Amino acid sequence: MPEGVLAVLRELERADEEIGAALADLDRLKSELDSVRTRVDELQGFAARLPAEREVRAAELERSKAEALAAQGLLEEAEAAVRSAEPDNAREADRFHVRARDRASVAERRVAEAAGAAGDLENRVEEAAIKGEELHARARELAEELSARSRIADSAGKEPGPGLDGVEAWSEVARASLFVARGQLAAEREAVIRQANELGALALGEPLNAMGAGALARRVEKSLRSP
């Protein structure tokens, strides 16, 4: 009887390993799916903030241009004052010119900074579009992988709809399907381990603390070899 039990335990050990590998595969797919979902949320958040950010950048650029225009007018006035100044007020005219020149320089720098910030925002828009395409391609790859898993619902293996909204909708279905499949596999593994423990206790003639099928098989084999 112990030899027969050992053979069954070996079969249960193989079943446990296969289920464990399948669970690991589903966990990998879930991890990759979660990564896609997180990045989709980030891109959607950026898209939602974009109109307001564009408005802010445009307002800053217009304001800095207006300040630069005013500063340039003041500088021209200061330059004219220097040219027409009498010897008695030449020093005051020079100081006025220095202040106006500094103000114009600062205003020009602010225009450049505002223009740079607006340009950076548009660069981020282009990068987000590229990332969105990459995410959609990755989602299609994951859908293809899921379609090859017999335990996964067919709907999870369908190609995502267009855009980030399509990826988000597909990911909800895929996540639910993975959850169900993993629950089924976990239940099967528990049944295998429970059966192995029952057989191990029968073979060894003693109650056992729950352990894996592999560990039980080794323990039963060791008991068979003992004198």
pLDDT of residue 8: 82
pLDDT of residue 98: 94
Q: Which two tokens stand for residue 72?
A: 């340039």
pLDDT of residue 225: 66
Classify domain 2-225 by CATH number.
1.10.287
The answer to whether the beta carbons of residues 109 and 59 sit under 8 Å apart is: no
pLDDT of residue 87: 83
Mean pLDDT, residues 156-178: 94
* 3-state SS class at 2: helix
Give every CB contact of residue 124 below 8 A, 6+ residues apart in sequence. Answer: 46
Domain boundaries, the chain: 2-225
What are 183-193's pLDDT values in tens digits? 999 999 889 88
Query: For the chain, what percentages of helix, strand and coil (3-state, to nearest 5) are there?
Result: 90, 0, 10
What are 101-141's pLDDT values in tens digits? 999 999 999 999 999 999 999 999 999 999 999 999 999 99
Residue 7's pLDDT band, with cuts at 50, 70 and 90, is confident
